[in-house]
C-alpha cells in the first residue's frame, strides 16, 4: 500500500532515531539465545499488562466486514477509534504496545513485509525469507503478514511464476506454523495497472485477502495532462469489478480508500478543473500523479480555507478539489473528503466486498484540538471525525441504507455490474 511522506517536514519512519523491529529482535536473540529454529517463545517479553493479550486472535475470530488501518509508526494508534477497527497493519517502525491495544479490542495486528526481486528468483532465499518472517511475527505476538509488492514483472517471465510460488509457500507456512494467522497481498486499483501485472487469480486463491489500493488511478495518464481525481468513482468501481470478473471471490477483496490528495503545479491554469500539469522529462512518455506532491488530509483541511476557490466538486469523478496560489504559480489539489469517501464506501455493499481500508493513519491530525481552540482547528477536527464516520459507517449499514444516498447514475452502475461496460484506458465505454 502507499507510504506517505508527512508534509510538515517531520522525518520519515526510516529516518527516525527509534528502536526498529529489527534492532529489538536482534537484542532479543542476544539476550535470550532465541533463534528461529529453537521453537522458544519469550512469554516474559510480553509488553502487555495481561499476558493473555499476547495471545494471537483465534482462527474462528472472524468479522463479517473487515475495517483495516495501515499504521505508519509512532503513537497515533492511541487515538484510533478501536471500536471500528478489526485489523491494523504495521511496518517495522511499530510501537510494541499497539499489539496490546489491538488485542484488547479484539483486533488483529499484521506485519507488512516487502518482497524484493532477488528473493523471488532464488529458492533458498525464498525459504529463508519466509522462515525469518514467521519467526518475527511469532515473537512479536502478531497475527499474520501483509505482502507488499511493487515490482514490474513480465507475465511471460519466470519471475511471474516465482511470485505466485512465493505467495503460496508463504501462506502454507504461516497457516501451518501460526494457526489462525492471516496472509494478505496488496494489489493495484485494477488488474495489471501501474505496471503491476501478476497472476492475481492464483494469488487470491492462496491468500486470505487481497488489499486493493483503490486510488492512484492517475499514476499514468494516457490522455491530456490535466490534474484529475486520485480515486474517481467509476474507475474505482470498475477496477474492483475487474477483479471479480477474473473469478476472484469478492469476499476476499478489501477496498482501500485514500485519506490524502495530490497537489498539482499548473504549467497552465485556465479555470478551476482545467490545470494543465507540467509535462515530464523527455523519454518518460506519460504524465500523472507521480509528478504531483502527496498531501495528507490533515494538511488539506487546514489549507482549504485559504485557497482562492474554496471547495469545488467534480460530478463526473465524484471528487472535490480546490485551487491555491503560491507566488505567481497556480496549484490544483484533488483529494477525498467525507462526501467522496461516503460514495466509495457504498461500493462495499454493492459488490459484496469483504471490507475497507484506510491506508495511512498519519493523514489524520489527532492533536489539532489540543493545539488550538480557534475556529479553524475546531472545524478541521470536526471534518476529520466525519472522515472516520464516513469511512466506516457504510461498512456496517444495511444494504438498502448504504445505497439510499448514492447519487451516481444508476444506469451506469447497472451496466458495469451486468458486464455491459468495457474498460478502455481510464474511461468506461458502453457497447
Q: What's the rounded mean pLDDT across residues 122-148?
A: 94
Give the integer Cα–Cα distance in Å for 35 and 139.
Answer: 10
Give the integer Cα–Cα distance in Å for 167 and 180.
Answer: 17
Is pLDDT of 4 > 80?
no
Give the integer Cα–Cα distance in Å for 300 and 318.
Answer: 18
pLDDT of 222 reads 55
CATH number of 21-258+337-430: 3.20.20.80
Identify which of 66, 392, 61 has the alpha carbon closest to the alpha carbon of residue 251.
Answer: 66
What's the chain's average pLDDT? 77
Is pLDDT of 10 > 50?
no
Q: What is the pLDDT of residues 302-352, one digit of tens each?
A: 999 999 999 999 999 999 999 999 999 999 999 999 899 889 988 998 999
Give the integer Cα–Cα distance in Å for 300 and 245.
Answer: 36
- Any idea where the domains of the chain sit in the sequence? 21-258+337-430
The better pLDDT of the pair 29, 297 is held by 297
Give the integer Cα–Cα distance in Å for 400 and 350.
Answer: 10
DSSP assignment, residue 252? G
Q: Is 113 helix (H, G, I), strand (E, B) or coil?
A: strand
CB 219 within 8 A of CB 289: yes
Q: What is the pLDDT of residues 224-274, one digit of tens each?
A: 788 999 999 999 999 999 999 999 999 999 999 988 899 999 999 999 999
pLDDT of 12 reads 40
Q: What is the pLDDT of residues 172-182, one digit of tens each?
A: 999 999 999 99
| pTM score, whole prediction | 0.77
Is pLDDT of 190 > 60?
yes
Q: What's the rounded mean pLDDT across residues 358-375?
A: 44
Amino acid at each position: 500500500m502507499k507510504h506517505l511522506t508527512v508534509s510538515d517536514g517531520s522525518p520519515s519512519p526510516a529516518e527516525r532515531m527509534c528502536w526498529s523491529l529489527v534492532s529489538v529482535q536482534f537484542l532479543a536473540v542476544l539476550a535470550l539465545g532465541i533463534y528461529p529454529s529453537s521453537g522458544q517463545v519469550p512469554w516474559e517479553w510480553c509488553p502487555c499488562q495481561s499476558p493473555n493479550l499476547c495471545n494471537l486472535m483465534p482462527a474462528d475470530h472472524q468479522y463479517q466486514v473487515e475495517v483495516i488501518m495501515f499504521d505508519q509508526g509512532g503513537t497515533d494508534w492511541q487515538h484510533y477509534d478501536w471500536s471500528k477497527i478489526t485489523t491494523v497493519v504495521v511496518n517495522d517502525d511499530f510501537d510494541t504496545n499497539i499489539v496490546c491495544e489491538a488485542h484488547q479490542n479484539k483486533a488483529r495486528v499484521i506485519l507488512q513485509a516487502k518482497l524484493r526481486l532477488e528473493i523471488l528468483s532464488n529458492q533458498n532465499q525464498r525459504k529463508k525469507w519466509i522462515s525469518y518472517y514467521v519467526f518475527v511475527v511469532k515473537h512479536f505476538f502478531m497475527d499474520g503478514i501483509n505482502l507488499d509488492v511493487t515490482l514490474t514483472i513480465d507475465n511471460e517471465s519466470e519471475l511471474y511464476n516465482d511470485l505466485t510460488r512465493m505467495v503460496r509457500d508463504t501462506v502454507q507456512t504461516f497457516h501451518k506454523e501460526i494457526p489462525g494467522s492471516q496472509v494478505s497481498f496488496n494489489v493495484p486499483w485494477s488488474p495489471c495497472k501501474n505496471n503491476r501485472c501478476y497472476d492475481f487469480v492464483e494469488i487470491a486463491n492462496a491468500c486470505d485477502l487481497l488489499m486493493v489500493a483503490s486510488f492512484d488511478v492517475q499514476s499514468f495518464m494516457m490522455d491530456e495532462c490535466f490534474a484529475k481525481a486520485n480515486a474517481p468513482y467509476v474507475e474505482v468501481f470498475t477496477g474492483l469489478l475487474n477483479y471479480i470478473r477474473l473469478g476472484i471471490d469478492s469476499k476476499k477483496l478489501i477496498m482501500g480508500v485514500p485519506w490524502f490528495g495530490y497537489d498539482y503545479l499548473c504549467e497552465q491554469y485556465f479555470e478551476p478543473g482545467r490545470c494543465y500539469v507540467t509535462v515530464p522529462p523527455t523519454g518518460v512518455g506519460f504524465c500523472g500523479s507521480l509528478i504531483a506532491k502527496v498531501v495528507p488530509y490533515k494538511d488539506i483541511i487546514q489549507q482549504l480555507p485559504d485557497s482562492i476557490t474554496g471547495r469545488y466538486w467534480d460530478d463526473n469523478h465524484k471528487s472535490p478539489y480546490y485551487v491555491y496560489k503560491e507566488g505567481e504559480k497556480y496549484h490544483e489539489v484533488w483529494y477525498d473528503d467525507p462526501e467522496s469517501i461516503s460514495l466509495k464506501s457504498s461500493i462495499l455493499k454493492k459488490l459484496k466486498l469483504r471490507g475497507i481500508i484506510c491506508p495511512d493513519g498519519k493523514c489524520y491530525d489527532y492533536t489539532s484540538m489540543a493545539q488550538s481552540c480557534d475556529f479553524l482547528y475546531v472545524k478541521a477536527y470536526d471534518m476529520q471525525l466525519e472522515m472516520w464516520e464516513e469511512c466506516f459507517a457504510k461498512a456496517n449499514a444495511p444494504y438498502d441504507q448504504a445505497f439510499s444516498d448514492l447519487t451516481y447514475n444508476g444506469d451506469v452502475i447497472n451496466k458495469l455490474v451486468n458486464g455491459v461496460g468495457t474498460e478502455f484506458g481510464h474511461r468506461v465505454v458502453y457497447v
